[in-house]
Structure 1
């Protein structure tokens, strides 16, 4: 019998899942990693859908290391450009070479970050 009311998830009876506190925490952590609520995560699992995480934590760690390397290079470059006393002991050619090498390493790091980000994006498709 159609009474004109639209059936929604909120108006449907829930399925209860009893679990221990540590199991609940684990489910909630997995749901967060997938960018879903616990209910949506469990629903997708129950319906046979593959639940993918929104982040590849190994890739995020790799990006953080690359970013730290770039930060250190930037700091060294800044030191070279701002510390007049230390620069006096080097020739202009040495300074230019050091700055050029630092810039090349920064560009390599940026390219590596782009490569890692591209692999993360490809995994999400």
Structure 2
């Protein structure tokens, strides 16, 4: 039905639906029981090398292109298909620790899911 991106540091919202952490590393300062994360598909996150490259000064446009290529890999593609199925069933909230979710991998995922 719908998908959105929120920061994991925000309080859970009753309208979040399925809460999916889309970061490879668990966010600092967030207790697992307080996060109310339903799924954590690490295979859907950017590779460590890509993440390091991007945070080292890589352009968002190039990051986006490389990350989309990573999403075509079999494991990531299967996880993405599963997430698409969840979106068809109801609301999905993608959670990230990124300070700028609109210029992160979470935004790329949002667009891949039709959000």
TM-score computed with the length of structure 2 as normaliser: 0.28
The structure with the larger Rg is 1
Bigger share in strand: 2
Question: Which fold has the larger relative contact order, with Cα–Cα distance below 8 Å and residues 6 or more apart in sequence?
Answer: 2
